Structure 1
Amino acid sequence: MTPLPPRARTLRDTIESHDNNYTLVRLVLSASVIYHHSFALSPGYSDPIDRALAPLTSVGGLAVLLFFFLSGLFVAQSFHKDTYIPNFVFKRFFRIWPGLFVCLALTATLMAAMSELPLRNYLTFDGFYRYILGNSVFDLRWDIEGVMGKNPLPTLNGSIHTLPMEAKMYVVLAALGALDLIRTRRRIAIAGAVAILMALTPGLVELLPTTLFNADYSRSAAVMFLAGVMVYGLSSRIRLALWQGVLLISAALLTRGGLHALFFYTSAVWIVLMVGQSAALGALWRPRHDLSYGIYIYGWPSQQLVMAASPVVLSPYGLSAGAVALATVFAAFSWRCVEKPAIAMGKDVSSLGWVQALKRHRTLTVFLVSLLAVCLGARWASNAWDMAPLQAMPTQLIDFGPRESRAGVPFNQQPNGRSALWIKIEGAPPPEGSVVVMDGKRLSTQISPGMVTAEVPKSVLWSTGDKSIYIERRRVSGIERTEAVQMRIKP
């Protein structure tokens, strides 16, 4: 069989073959995000391209939305080939989590090593591990105390804010699969179109029990992802041509408001798809490896590292060049050592089962499990033991209640079933980040003028004896702590 000539190819022909440029497109989009963030990290500069795109979008905003479109397109393709939902979950997990987890651990360590305090201070600091572990499960945290503090913006990785939304769209796609709407391309196209209409209907999605659109860009991102899903469903009928772009771009230039946004983003999608199937571009260069995810997640930390290491203040353009180069090095490492093996492991879990997959990918498994165990163990140890110098907190505990209770009996019971402890204070109020510690357990704490309250879990009340209570704040340079009081738990 001879291959179809480029003009006769459908979009389905393009995306189901290796004869396309979408890996290059994703690389360009990743570099565009770094370029956009360079202006946010370099005060006093304004991007002329952003001004041209305003108020509709920005370079980074457009790149992220196009990422979501391509994700919808190719993830729907993958799901359509194997509609078994557990396999879909395994593949998505192994594509996203291993690379992200290693990125967080590696870049946090490097950035801490370039900070003023010694690295050992951070390796015994709870906040260091909360940053790594929290962000790896999308409980987003933006900084670690003292790290990159001399840079204009101490946020350590601003790019990862889009990953929770990506994960939510995987859940939406899995839900469509559970409704048997991924079995045929026709169903996929209809499901994508209906889901887009639902996402655009004011107040409809907010009726769901979980929050889907909790960020400014969420609705646009969801629509673009679902547009990718719909386009995949229609891919066997789509044949791209130059006249389509002429009409779309002309309509975008001649319209205003909602129609302008519709034609603008449709034009951007058309350009991406045309570049993706361009034979001339493919003849010039076609990357062998997909480094786009690595460049994306390592991009912002690379910018922070370049700024911290540079002896001069860099312009956004110099910062972009340095950060893209460094992020590419990180991404190549991530692809070769983490992402590519993890993707293969996800496929093997689906086809061979967990036992055989773990055996086949023993090196990656041991590495990830060991790194996770180190982070979990170090976080536990940094909470359980005082590894930093103790300092007196200038806050006095002058009264608290109740002073005694019985084992297993709740007190001041809250709606969630937990007991509540109150502490009356005087002197300097506890600084931000302070918590009540009871019997070695850090409690959920609320601080108000002259009063501190905390929820006490049932596990603290199971055993009898005197329970030590104090307020503390753990910092990378030391532990601030008040004097302790005792609450008696009777049999």
Structure 2
Amino acid sequence: MTGVLSRYPEPGEDPTHSAREDRGLRTLATALGSSRNSLNALRLVFAAAVIVSHAWVLGGYGPEPALYGIKLGGASVMGFFAISGYLITLSAQRSRTVRDFVLARLTRIYPALFISALVVGFIAAPIGGMITRGHYSLEGSLLFVGFAVTLLIGVIGAPLIGTTLLGNPDSGNWNGPLWTLTWEVLCYVMVALVVFSLRHARGGGRYQRIATVFLFIVATGGTAAKILAGGFENDPREFALPLAATFLAGSILAQYRDHVPVGPVPALLAAGATWASVASQVANALAPLPLAYLVLQLGAFRLVARVGSRYDISYGVYIYGWPAQQLLAAAHVPGFVPPLAYAAMALAVVWPLAFLSCVCVEQPAQRWRRAWSQRGSGTARAAEAHQLAGLGHGDLAQSESNSGALDKQAQRSAG
């Protein structure tokens, strides 16, 4: 799972005002286009829910409760991917260049991921080995860090760090949720290819929407085919297709954000469609689009808009939750408390770690990225001013004419 958290652009950067808003109808563009939304709060809820879901398997309590076969952790990760699909699409559309987009994504994911991998490999694992009296492997720690930062964990799994989890119900994995980051980054690449390859084509906006819908149909069809062929095996990588479908569902809603209504009635309809999908025999194939719509509808409500507005700790909760639970399991805590109490203790441990990750790693990385982008923008503006300064009146008029033509072309492409 993120995976799912993954890191995403800050919600609330697009103050788009659509014609529907003028008629008194709120849309996703207007409801999520200001800082007064609850997407950060939802991400925090999803991250906490993943920890609750993992309590059963990591604490050795037996099978996790499920609703129509859907577990809390899986549903939460799909919620993460829905939000990510929406926001990453907006990020790609707003980025001036591919470099700007890649830099924004790298600084969201990698600094905190790298530090968490170091913490697990060189602090948590040795402590776990001392508690369990297992063998600590420096080579295993180095491999773990390498697999984490190269995102290989999502493809070939996490390497063992000796026998530092000896006796734990799950004795082989120090950070299970990291596998989702691999597939989330691949979704980033997929959306970026769609947006940037079609950006300057005539009617590029329309072709972007068509391409996104096509990819969604392919992912959904692949998921349905997998279900009809016998279902998903007990392997996280098997879940990549429905996650991609959910991400693309969020991307579709971003592409049509000026036309998608928001309000109590649409939210109830989305909830009903999601419930019907979950109750079906092909939930992973039918649920992505209504679930993504429901999640974004909930994010549009402003009741908890202040949660995470200054300190978004959801990513830290996500990437430190499993290691914290493994250490508590190594100390035999699950043997004395029920699953929900074990999850609550893990949340109490991970909260300060997530806050430190936010304040000391994630926010400084974002400040550096913004400063770098501003320097790049300043250099480009200076070069443009220097070029214009060398033009004669006739050349300057021609330049303005060309600029106006480019603006009109961009407006046509946006449609």
Q: Is the 8 A contact 2:198 2:205 kept in 1?
A: no
The structure showing larger relative contact order (alpha-carbon pairs under 8 Å, at least 6 residues apart) is 2
One-letter amino acid of the counterpart of residue 339, structure 1: E
Instruction: State the percentage of identical aligned residues.
Output: 25
**In structure 1, which of residues 40, 48, 53 is the aligned counterpart of residue 68 of structure 2?**
53
- What are the Cα deviations for residues 266-317 of structure 1, in whole angstroms up to 9, with x where unaligned? 443333223212233448x564221111111111011112223455624321
**2:313 maps to which residue?**
291
Number of equivalences: 339
Runs (5+) with no aligned partner, structure 2:
1-14, 224-234, 380-415
Runs (5+) with no aligned partner, structure 1:
204-212, 357-491
**1:343 maps to which residue?**
366
Q: Is the 8 A contact 1:245 1:267 kept in 2?
A: no
In the alignment, structure 1 residue 32 sits paired with structure 2 residue 49: yes
**1:406 maps to which residue?**
none
Q: Is the 8 A contact 1:34 1:324 kept in 2?
A: yes
- Take 2:221 and 2:152, find their aligned partners in 1: how far apart are those partners? 28
Q: 1:169 to 1:83 in 2, by over 3 A?
A: farther
Q: Is the 8 A contact 2:140 2:162 kept in 1?
A: yes
In the alignment, structure 1 residue 82 sits paired with structure 2 residue 118: no
- What are the Cα deviations for residues 335-355 of structure 1, in whole angstroms up to 9, with x where unaligned? 11111111222333334259x
Q: 1:281 to 1:178 in 2, by over 3 A?
A: closer
Measured after TM superposition, the shift of residue 264 of structure 1 is: 4.1
- Take 1:254 and 1:168, find their aligned partners in 2: how far apart are those partners? 29
Q: Is the 8 A contact 2:316 2:354 kept in 1?
A: yes
* 1:171-250 map, 5 Å: 171-181=189-199, 186-202=206-222, 215-250=237-272
**1:334 maps to which residue?**
357
* 1:33-432 map, 5 Å: 33-48=50-65, 50=66, 52-54=67-69, 57-116=70-129, 125-140=138-153, 141-154=158-171, 155-181=173-199, 186-202=206-222, 215-251=237-273, 257=280, 264-282=287-305, 285=307, 287-309=309-331, 313=335, 314-353=337-376
- Take 1:45 and 1:18, find their aligned partners in 2: how far apart are those partners? 42
**1:456 maps to which residue?**
none
One-letter amino acid of the counterpart of residue 14, structure 1: A
- What are the Cα deviations for residues 402-458 of structure 1, in whole angstroms up to 9, with x where unaligned? xxxxxxxxxxxxxxxxxxxxxxxxxxxxxxxxxxxxxxxxxxxxxxxxxxxxxxxxx
Measured after TM superposition, the shift of residue 185 of structure 1 is: 5.1
Q: 1:295 to 1:251 in 2, by over 3 A?
A: closer
- Take 1:174 and 1:128, find their aligned partners in 2: how far apart are those partners? 33
Q: 1:262 to 1:100 in 2, by over 3 A?
A: same
Measured after TM superposition, the shift of residue 126 of structure 1 is: 1.7
Measured after TM superposition, the shift of residue 232 of structure 1 is: 0.7
Q: Is the 8 A contact 1:108 1:128 kept in 2?
A: yes
- Take 2:355 and 2:96, find their aligned partners in 1: how far apart are those partners? 31
Q: 1:324 to 1:6 in 2, by over 3 A?
A: farther
- Take 2:147 and 2:102, find their aligned partners in 1: how far apart are those partners? 20
One-letter amino acid of the counterpart of residue 106, structure 2: F
Measured after TM superposition, the shift of residue 186 of structure 1 is: 4.2
SS of corresponding position for 2:59: coil
One-letter amino acid of the counterpart of residue 241, structure 1: G
Measured after TM superposition, the shift of residue 82 of structure 1 is: 1.2
Higher strand share: 1
Measured after TM superposition, the shift of residue 177 of structure 1 is: 3.0
Q: 1:182 to 1:316 in 2, by over 3 A?
A: farther
- What are the Cα deviations for residues 355-392 of structure 1, in whole angstroms up to 9, with x where unaligned? x9xxxxxxxxxxxxxxxxxxxxxxxxxxxxxxxxxxxx
One-letter amino acid of the counterpart of residue 178, structure 2: I
